[in-house]
Amino acid sequence: CSVATTWLTETEVFFSVFVVGEHGMAHFSDKSKSKGKDYCIFFNSQWARLPQDLNKASRLQIYDLTSSVLCSPSEVPEGGFPNRIPMVLRGNCTFYEKVRLAQINGAKGLLIVSKDRLTPPAGNKTQYEEIDIPVALLSYSDMLDISKTFGKVQLVAMYAPNEPVLDYNMVIIFLMAVGTVAIGGYWAGSRDSKKRYMKHKRDDGTEKQDEETVDVTPIMICVFVVMCCSMLVLLYFFYDRLVIWVIAIFCVASSVGLHSCLWPFVKRLPFCKCRIPENNLPYLHKRPQIRMLLLSAFCIGVSITWMVFRNEDQWAWVLQDALGIAFCLYMLKTVRLPTFKACTLLLSVLFVYDVFFVFITPLFTKSGESIMVEVAAGPSDSSTHEKLPMVLKVPRLNFSPLALCDRPFSLLGFGDILVPGLLVAYCHRFDILTQSSRIYFVACTIAYGIGLLITFVALALMQMGQPALLYLVPCTLLTSLTVALWRRELPQFWTGSGFPAIALAPINCTQTAPPQTGGPSTKSESNATEPAAQSEHSPQHPTQETPPAEEDEDKHKSN
């Protein structure tokens, strides 16, 4: 159901050489200082720290040496770099050799232009102690823009502004995630209850439901996890080839989810109830209602609009979040975990999966980045620069110059909603059948919210990508288990014994009126025999009130 189940942060941590890189800003201006522009740089504070305020940073003249890599004394111009900052190309020697040559020749800093991915300029402890000027990496594209904008005479001031640990956009992500889990879990339980009622209400069970649920088995869980691992690894190695297919699949799945979420509201509208004329066209020969076709066209249109404008960062994220929430709601009400045992198996396996691909894989990758973060955020060397859409994304609301450097969005993977959400849905179904005043549902939903808050705290304290399931799985599983123990219902809760097979109860034919063309007496008589049959053959099931929505749907089907 989800390709990437991860929480992404705004800070990159590089494990390959155990050096933490930091983002900073290089403020370029012309000689008159009448105009200026900030560019992103990547530096290592172990060489030298940068001031946090631009006003406290020294404005020094750039010495353009981008035709050289500054690896030997012969490349140093006559007179050196007194009170200047040389800008050189990356390559052919270590960072230490470059910055040492620059410092010996009077430079007050060093900018290294890189055509490759920006990585922290690393050294060892002895080298750090020897060097006392800042060294930073600048992208090649930014260097070209600087030359075009400011010409040959350029002033630069390097600084590293502070950034808020937490952003206000996390409040929006929290509300979207908890709201989706709560609504999806409630909807799944209510839909299951209505389905059981309608099965008992009908004289036969041959009529097919509009949407069938899928009961998850242990074998399906194992296959799903293997598919997730395989897909993640394939995306890591063949990202540019597969990302377009993932985007296409998301468009189809999200449009189906949006249709499923909007149809219960559209079918209550008092207009466009007429059907299309008789025809032999595929998918249209059953003469669907006009409003159903209009809704389908609307959902497909929204999905296509997002696909066309998906890289418009100012507003496309709203469509992606709406489609993502609709997809998650659709999955929560369609996929059904029949027992708490299945819930525990699924959440536990994905718990290990999430932790492994976030915390363990950096030890094996060349870049030192986790496979999960690399895939979900999109590789920096991707030729397509596409991002996986399987996330909720909200732009940062706190203004910071560092938005130029880092990802301007905070992201939450669909898996961090769907996986705990399936447990919440199970809890609500168990609540309905045991008449427990929804205590399991409420407790599990609150536990999910608490787990998400703990994820935010860990994100702020550790300043690195967090596998949200590391906190969500224990919170939701242990809370549900505690409630079951407290109510002394653990055996029933574990095996799902509260969920009997959906089947018609036996009916005494002598008490049923003969078939008629349809009159009040037939309806009242069949309704009168139903409670007796239920009480006689299945006394353990609580009686359910007639769902108005399903009655309307039956009338619609009979028409």
460: its two tokens? 């702020």
Lookup: tokens for 539:
């006394």
Sequence-separated (6 or more) residues with CB below 8 Å from residue 226: none
Q: Closest Cα to residue 42, out of 132, 126, 142, 167? A: 142
Please name which of 113, 194, 145, 158 lies closest in space to residue 22, comparing C-alpha atoms.
Answer: 158
Q: Which residues contact 326 (CB under 8 A, 6 or more apart)?
A: 254, 257, 258, 260, 261
416 is catalytic: yes
Task: Give the type of residue at 32.
Answer: S
255 Cβ neighbours under 8 A, 6+ residues apart:
299, 300, 302, 303, 323
**Residue 122 and residue 549: Cα distance in Å, rounded?**
65
Tally of CA atoms within 13 A in the half-sphere of 333 that contains its CB: 26
Residues near 66 by beta carbon (within 8 Å), at least 6 away in sequence: 87, 88, 89, 113, 143
157, 54 contact by CB (below 8 A) = yes
The answer to whether the Cα torsion of 63, 69, 75, 80 is positive or negative is: positive
Chain centroid to CA 168: 17
Closest CA to 200 of 557, 556, 553, 546: 546
CB-based contact 328:184 (threshold 8 Å): yes
Catalytic residue among 30, 416, 552, 554: 416
Q: What single-letter amino acid sits at 534? A: Q
Question: Which run of H or of E encompasses 214?
Answer: strand 214-215
**Alpha-helical runs (H) found in 435-505:** 439-462, 469-486, 490-495
Catalytic one among 64, 167, 192, 354? 354
Interatomic CA distance for residues 559 and 554, integer angstroms: 9
Cβ neighbours of 27 (radius 10 Å): 17
Q: Are 13 and 416 in contact (CB under 8 A)?
A: no
Q: CA nearest 22: which of 124, 120, 134?
A: 120
The answer to whether the CB of 25 falls within 8 A of the CB of 158 is yes
30 is catalytic: no
Q: Which strand (E) or helix (H) includes residue 303? A: helix 290-308
Which residue type is seen at 542? Answer: P
The secondary structure element, H or E, covering residue 394 is: strand 391-395
* Residue position matching structure tokens 């599983």: 477
**135: nearest Cα among 18, 16, 12, 26:** 26
90's tokens: 């990356």
Q: Torsions phi, psi of 458, nearest 5?
A: -65, -35
Catalytic amino acids?
354, 416
